[in-house]
Amino acid sequence: MSDAKLQTVLSALPPVTRQLDALPSNGPAPDGNFVKLNTNENPFPLPPIIMQSAVAALKCQYLYPDDDNISLREAASSTYGVSRDQVIAGNGSSELLGLIYRAFLAPGDKVAMMSPGFSFNRKLAMIQGAEFLEIGCQAHSLPMEQLLSGPAKDAKFIMLANPNNPTGTFLPISDIERLVAQSDRLVVLDEAYVDFAPDHGLRLINRYPNVLILRSFSKSYAAAGIRVGFGFGHPEIIGRLRNIQNVFNMNVIGHAVGISVLAHRGAYAENHKHIKDERERVTVALSQLGFSVTPSRANFLLARVPAGQDGSWWQAALERQKILVAFFPDKGLEHCIRVSIGAKEQMDAFLAAAGDIAGSLTVPSSKGREASGSASSLR
């Protein structure tokens, strides 16, 4: 296609889409020798009984999955004690997030999110031509006045994540209920990490029509690659979201695994216990290395790195030792890394690498004094 024709085609894009650059291909696939602790996956295999359901589903590969995800929604309805019409199933909860933004936002509208939060929300708002408001909050309290009568008072909906990503902090459900009760706008409560937390907000959907709860099987049920997510809310809201959902949005394996997980959640008890135990062990170990770790109720830790270097430097230094962690350039997070909790051997490898790096930054001099290492000392 000639440049002139390409420009003519691109000019047909709406203004919002024209603001987006063409997405380049990423680099090579991650080396299997890396310890991957940057995307909060649960690294354990599916329990055998659930793996059996996935393998059996392959025999139905020539069939479309259930229309409207009916069997999966019925299973979730039974497991969580809600009506079928209060449930939407998605290709991961990220698909459902996209539906919410499409359904509620038009160009010029506003949406509010607690900050720091899941950065993908910024892109979803931009695609809709909406203004994205980030409302800072303390670790364990909601800025009620700002949300109800401050900068966010005209937002079409409010995004909360509990536990929050990337901090791992958890808000009491009573505080969230107070916000929902006092607001007449939709409150979207993302509970992707809630199975590692002490409480959940699902009971709110039968009390208030303006709350929508998202769940994911990617974190606590080790199914990130299978893509299973749910939304729970008032039937009028859920029904409209289902009406704009892509036809056959999930696949037969996702349906089978989702139904099996719902029937055998107890099979993950040891998995969840391991992650909570490792979360505490790694918190203590990092603190001894000079990190300041935010108390977490998720399957990851946000850790402020020792003085002298920032989070980006530490991410690069760990990557050179084949350990992948996350770094966020957002204001207030520049000196932090986020570390997923994985298997014990993965966390041992991470702690060993972190210890080596920390040790190399403070080296005793020949006169017995300590001299700080430079950023180039590990390059």
How far apart, in whole angstroms, are the C-alpha atoms of residue 127 and residue 305?
34
Is the Cβ–Cβ distance between 105 and 130 less than 8 Å?
yes
49 vs 147 pLDDT, higher one: 49
> What is the reported pTM?
0.90
How far apart, in whole angstroms, are the C-alpha atoms of residue 194 and residue 171?
11
- What CATH number is attached to the domain comprising 340? 3.90.1150.10
- What CATH number is attached to the domain comprising 60? 3.40.640.10
For the segment 310-316, the average pLDDT, to the nearest whole number, is 97
For the segment 305-319, the average pLDDT, to the nearest whole number, is 95
| pLDDT single digits (tens) 158-203 | 999 999 999 999 999 999 999 999 999 999 999 999 999 999 999 9
- Domain end, chosen from 263, 291, 315, is at 263
Are 176 and 60 in the same domain? yes
Is the Cβ–Cβ distance between 270 and 123 less than 8 Å?
no
Asked whether the predicted pLDDT for residue 377 surpasses 60, the reply is no
- Domain end, chosen from 205, 232, 263, is at 263
Number of independent structural domains in the chain: 2
Say whether 123 sits in a helix, a strand or coil. Answer: helix
Structure tokens at 53: 């359901």
Are 72 and 209 in the same domain? yes
| pLDDT single digits (tens) 82-112 | 999 999 999 999 999 999 999 999 999 999 9
Are 259 and 278 in the same domain? no
Are 310 and 249 in the same domain? no
Q: What single letter denotes the amino acid at residue 160? A: L
- Helices and strands in the chain, H and E counts: 13, 14
Q: Is residue 30 part of a domain?
A: no
For the segment 40-49, the average pLDDT, to the nearest whole number, is 95
So what's the pLDDT on residue 142?
86
How far apart, in whole angstroms, are the C-alpha atoms of residue 250 and residue 262?
16
With residue 370 as reference, give the H or E element that holds it.
Answer: strand 370-372
- Domain end, chosen from 248, 263, 278, is at 263
So what's the pLDDT on residue 374?
34
Q: Is residue 333 part of a domain?
A: yes
CB neighbour list of residue 207: distance below 8 Å, 6 or more residues apart: 177
Count CA atoms closer than 13 A to 267's CA, side-chain side. Answer: 15
Are 274 and 256 in the same domain? no
Are 128 and 233 in the same domain? yes
pLDDT band at 121 (very low <50, low <70, confident <90, very high): very high
Asked whether the predicted pLDDT for residue 277 surpasses 60, the reply is yes
139 vs 259 pLDDT, higher one: 259
Q: Is residue 308 part of a domain?
A: yes
Q: Is residue 373 part of a domain?
A: no
pLDDT band at 229 (very low <50, low <70, confident <90, very high): very high
pLDDT band at 362 (very low <50, low <70, confident <90, very high): low
Mean pLDDT, the chain, as a whole number? 91
Say whether 160 sits in a helix, a strand or coil. Answer: strand
So what's the pLDDT on residue 379?
29
Is the Cβ–Cβ distance between 212 and 179 less than 8 Å?
no
How far apart, in whole angstroms, are the C-alpha atoms of residue 378 and residue 99?
45
**Phi, then psi, of 273 in degrees rounded to 5:** -65, -45
How far apart, in whole angstroms, are the C-alpha atoms of residue 379 and residue 367?
26
pLDDT band at 139 (very low <50, low <70, confident <90, very high): low
3 vs 347 pLDDT, higher one: 347
Q: Is residue 28 part of a domain?
A: no
Are 142 and 55 in the same domain? yes
Domain with 329 in it: 35-42+269-362
| pLDDT single digits (tens) 198-219 | 999 999 999 999 999 999 999 9
Are 97 and 60 in the same domain? yes
Place of tokens 């902090």: 169
Asked whether the predicted pLDDT for residue 13 surpasses 90, the reply is no
Is the Cβ–Cβ distance between 315 and 166 less than 8 Å?
no
Are 153 and 93 in the same domain? yes
Are 209 and 322 in the same domain? no
Q: Is residue 21 part of a domain?
A: no
Asked whether the predicted pLDDT for residue 371 surpasses 70, the reply is no
Among 142-146, 249-253, 357-361, the range with the most confident prediction by mean pLDDT is 249-253
Q: Is residue 150 part of a domain?
A: yes
How far apart, in whole angstroms, are the C-alpha atoms of residue 169 and residue 74?
32
Are 183 and 76 in the same domain? yes
User: Following CA atoms 215, 221, 223, 229 in sequence, which dihedral angle do they give, to the nearest 10 degrees?
Assistant: -10
Q: Is residue 20 part of a domain?
A: no
Are 338 and 193 in the same domain? no
pLDDT band at 10 (very low <50, low <70, confident <90, very high): confident
- Nearest partner of 303 among 313, 319, 290, 316, judged by Cα: 290
Say whether 28 sits in a helix, a strand or coil. Answer: coil
Before 14, cis peptide (omega within 30)? no
How far apart, in whole angstroms, are the C-alpha atoms of residue 47 and residue 261?
9
